[in-house]
Amino acid sequence: MKGIAVLGSTGSIGVSTLDVVMRHPDRFRVVALTANRNVARMAEQCRLTRPSYAVMADAGAAAALRDELSDMPAPPEVLAGHEGLNVVAALPDVDYVMAAIVGAAGLMSSLAAARAGKRLLLANKEALVVAGAILMRAAADNGATLLPIDSEHNAIFQCLPPDHAAGLARGGVERILLTASGGPFRQATAEALSAVTPEQACAHPNWSMGRKISVDSATMMNKGLEIIEACWLFDTTPERIQVVVHPQSVIHSMVQYADGSVLAQLGNPDMRTPIAHALAWPDRISAGVEPLNLFEIARLDFEPPAPERFPCLRLAYRAASEGGTAPVVMNAANEVAVASFLDRRIAFNDIGSIVERTMDALPAESVDLSGLEHVLDVDRRARAIAEQTTAAAVA
Ligand code: NAD
Ligand code: MG
């Protein structure tokens, strides 16, 4: 029986995680749930899964949750604030931590789980983008097992040789083929892109996801973040990663070997598959996902990406090659710009230009393994500059 903490349980990945976990009461027990402010959904999840702890990052929401659960026979202990996240990520009776908070806000709790030597199921890709070296080292030094939840990276993990930690070249791996759906605007002209609304950007053709990652998919920043994520997870370089636009999202990524073999992982676009894979690994368990019907799908298409229409993809390659703090700056500026776009303060095309101007204003600095404070400081500075750039774009 494995104890589980779900960080970000009220979000899209969190809800899918609880769906899989509840199908296997003989294997998993929910020890802790966390959310930002969504008291109603958290209360519902607490009644359903009976965790020992519930954390609300927002203090007011924590008080409201305590109130809301006061009639429960054995209510969870409710903790408030970001310290609460770090506490539950490291609890002795937590074996697995699902890191499903969105954005750099998930970094410290992901790191806490790695430092506590947990099985870390990592959906929070931004943690790797801003502090990949630090997070990977913390996992290695403390015996944590890091399993990717991002569907592409989970697919790559499944297609790599079992001993890939020893180095991809030794396993005969030549390239990673990272698939991308292309998002809702795959075929849109640059002109059409200037007028898109948050509703259009969040209407992904294949996946139902949180709003931030939906916008990232529409700008293709999501693929950019995933290139950097893959470099850290699989100890490789952007030159060995080929982005392949595959509009059906049936192949979730591929690995090309020296002998010409290409291994792919296929499945319906449903995050419960990678979640179940990482929860049960190396076993396999049911996930509640419909079996793939190849006759219904009938064909699979592939095309090269179009960085001229999707500047965020180009900026991510730039951040990956500059290294150091460049991905921190890119990620922070992107989080600010996406939030402004969702608030209807800026246009869709402003997202890329705000990211680029912030990167220009804060040239990359090198970071060492003890540089967490440095990373957090650069993250704050980049957010301030991106806010100023946003205000200028609005004026
Ligand atoms: P979401 O917005 O649906 O959920 C985010 C969760 O994090 C919620 O529970 C929210 O309460 C919590 N949260 C938000 N801000 C917080 C803060 N400041 N402090 C503490 N908690 C906070 O997001 P999502 O779509 O589930 O994505 C979660 C992560 O998983 C992201 O990093 C995303 O890139 C990644 N991911 C998601 C999908 C998907 O299908 N949704 C696929 C691959 C990767
Ligand atoms: Mg993905």
The closest-lying atom of ligand 1 relative to the alpha carbon of residue 37 is 11
List where CATH 3.40.50.720 sits in the chain: 2-149
Are the CB atoms for 318 and 269 separated by under 8 Å? no
Q: Give 60 Cα–ligand 2 centroid separation in angstroms.
A: 33
Give 199's contacts (C-beta < 8 A, 6+ positions apart): none
List where CATH 1.10.1740.10 sits in the chain: 156-268+289-394
Indicate whether residue 8 lines ligand 1 (CB < 6 A): yes
The closest-lying atom of ligand 1 relative to the alpha carbon of residue 216 is 34
In tens, the pLDDT along 287-323 reads: 999 999 999 999 999 999 998 889 999 999 999 999 9
Indicate whether residue 150 lines ligand 1 (CB < 6 A): yes
Per-residue confidence band for 82, with pLDDT thresholds at 50, 70 and 90: very high
Site to probe by mutation for ligand 1, drawn from 6, 10, 13 as the one with most ligand atoms within 8 Å of Cβ, is 13
In DSSP notation, 280-315 reads: HTTS----SPPPP-HHHH-----B---TTT-HHHHH
Indicate whether residue 39 lines ligand 1 (CB < 6 A): no
Mean pLDDT, rounded, for 9-31: 98
Per-residue confidence band for 25, with pLDDT thresholds at 50, 70 and 90: very high
Residue 57 has pLDDT above 80, yes or no: yes
Q: Could you tell me which CATH class the domain 156-268+289-394 is placed in?
A: mainly alpha
Indicate whether residue 100 lines ligand 1 (CB < 6 A): yes
Dist. CA 306–CA 72, nearest whole Å = 54
Q: How far is CA 55 from the centre of its chain?
A: 20
Dihedral sign of CA atoms 132, 42, 80, 72 in order: negative
Indicate whether residue 84 lines ligand 1 (CB < 6 A): no
Give 394's contacts (C-beta < 8 A, 6+ positions apart): 340, 345, 346
Superfamily of domain 2-149, CATH level 4 = NAD(P)-binding Rossmann-like Domain (3.40.50.720)
Mean pLDDT, rounded, for 168-184: 94
The closest-lying atom of ligand 1 relative to the alpha carbon of residue 13 is 26
- Model pTM score: 0.98
Q: What is the pLDDT of residue 394?
A: 82
Q: Give 288 Cα–ligand 2 centroid separation in angstroms.
A: 20
